[in-house]
Amino acid sequence: MSYRVVEIFKEISKIPRCSKHCKRIIRFICEWANNDGFKCRLDDYGNVVVNIPATKGFENKPSFALQGHMDMVCVKDENSNHDFNEDPIEVLERNGWLIANGTTLGADDGVALAIGMALAEDESKPHPELELVFTADEEIGLVGAVHLKDKFVKSKKLINIDSEKEGVFVIGCAGGEDIDLSFPVKRQARRFSEAYRVVVSGLKGGHSGTEINHNRANAIKLLNEILDRSFSSVELVELNGGKARNAIPDFAEAVIFTDTVDEVKSIAKSVENYALPLFAGEENLSIEVEKAETEMDIVHRDDFRRIVDLINKLPHGVYKMYDDETPKISNNLAVVELSVNGFKLFSNQRSLTEEGLDKICSIVEEIGRELSCDINRHSRYPSWTPKNNSKLLENAKRTFVNMFSREPMVKVIHAGLECGIFVSKLPKDVEMISIGPNMEDIHSPKERLDIDSLVRTYELVCELVKS
């Protein structure tokens, strides 16, 4: 019966569910609930709570919440034709792992939905009343959790199933905020005659919370280095890079005009040669300069210079460490978009403390002001402060040892979790932990999920709600 959790995950993967597009997954969950005789409740934003009655003998036990988010980060390989609004995720099994075909898999956080639904279906698993709490739009700033109605969930114990390492119990996380920098750009007639596309690709990318300290290259930064070094001999037409605020940019491209393409190619090769040893594990980095066609006018030289300086000056990566493994403060220079009339840059800041978050945000703001950008700070969410006397945590540790004969790791993480928001939404004495199966390279097309680990995590959750 345990492998039903894998079947449900594959069923969920057939349903398009990018952030801001959760209607179909909401409908799927509520239809499943109604068919099985469970009560499905929606709030005004689209967060879902499914109430699962207690099994025999557990009717008088306190209710228990299992929580995850419905949306996923939708990122694909540059050569993929996948339509996230219509196409199902093509889930493949490879050597004990689930992967997708050229796209993100959506294990973050489809596993939470699958575990909760599988447990509700399994009549052999005893449990108290369960509240399956599935939030919308987590990946774009924990928006669903922010809009969750107070007391919409009554449970005083909650397991968030949104972590990526089996045997790790998360008891605290970073808070975060987004900053958008923008300014209008002028266009002018070009002087040079030949158009070329400069493409940086093949990078690992990844989650800006869990992998920002893994020394991964930023495609936008590398491309900007090429534009900066060749500034006097190129004219900028187009510039785009990155795919999501919380994903490290693995792809960026620019269209330029130049009459000295060999010089540009030489600079591109030089940037590639210095980046390969600097960023360990980025052996698939590729920088190509290829012929292009465009009728657009070029960006005015002053605005071109401002774009290059802004990307140069903005920090990317870890600003300060919390311990040997966990960042305390970071900034992800995430997305750049150059339109006909304007330039936009989107960044995501994280910190384990409110003071640290203010610090990194003020640095980004100051650079934006220096270069006369319009500045928009938004989507702030709080950090989650650990509870040292949690009975839920102690029981979880004891249960894990009994099941797997090893001690779990207890830690604070740099990624953002909805638990920080739930502190103010749930009963005051709520206790929470976050767990999950082994996943790798989430928020990237290389994302994969360990099948056996998913099954073990499901069994662990079953034991936790039972005990």
Averaged over 64-79, what is the pLDDT?
Answer: 95
Residue 67 CA neighbour count, 13 Å, CB half: 29
- pLDDT category of residue 289 using cuts at 50, 70 and 90: very high
pLDDT at 1: 41
- Residue 18 DSSP SS3: strand
Q: 250 near 444, Cβ under 8 Å?
A: yes
pLDDT at 455: 97
pLDDT at 389: 85
Q: 275 near 217, Cβ under 8 Å?
A: yes
Q: 240 near 338, Cβ under 8 Å?
A: yes
Q: 217 near 224, Cβ under 8 Å?
A: no
The candidate with the shortest Cα–Cα distance to 174, out of 415, 459, 423, 359, is 415
- pLDDT category of residue 224 using cuts at 50, 70 and 90: very high
Structural tokens at position 359: 């610090």
Summarised one tens digit per residue, pLDDT across range 413-439 is 998 899 999 988 888 889 999 999 999
Structural tokens at position 109: 């956080």
Give the position of tokens 């949690």: 390
Summarised one tens digit per residue, pLDDT across range 173-191 is 999 999 999 999 999 999 9
pLDDT at 388: 74
Q: Could you give the domains of the chain? A: 4-173+384-466 (3.40.630.10), 177-381 (3.30.70.360)
The H or E element that residue 413 is part of is strand 409-413
pLDDT at 150: 87
Give, as one character, the DSSP assignment of residue 234. -
Averaged over 17-37, what is the pLDDT?
Answer: 97
d(CA 92, CA 290): 33
pTM for the whole structure: 0.82
210 has a pLDDT exceeding 50: yes
Residues with catalytic roles: 71, 138
Summarised one tens digit per residue, pLDDT across range 227-261 is 999 999 999 999 999 988 999 999 999 999 999 99
Give the position of tokens 């540790």: 397
pLDDT at 441: 92
- pLDDT category of residue 386 using cuts at 50, 70 and 90: confident
Q: Regarding predicted confidence, which is higher, 218 or 2?
A: 218
The mean predicted confidence, pLDDT, of the chain is: 96
Give, as one character, the DSSP assignment of residue 83. -
399 has a pLDDT exceeding 90: yes
352 has a pLDDT exceeding 50: yes
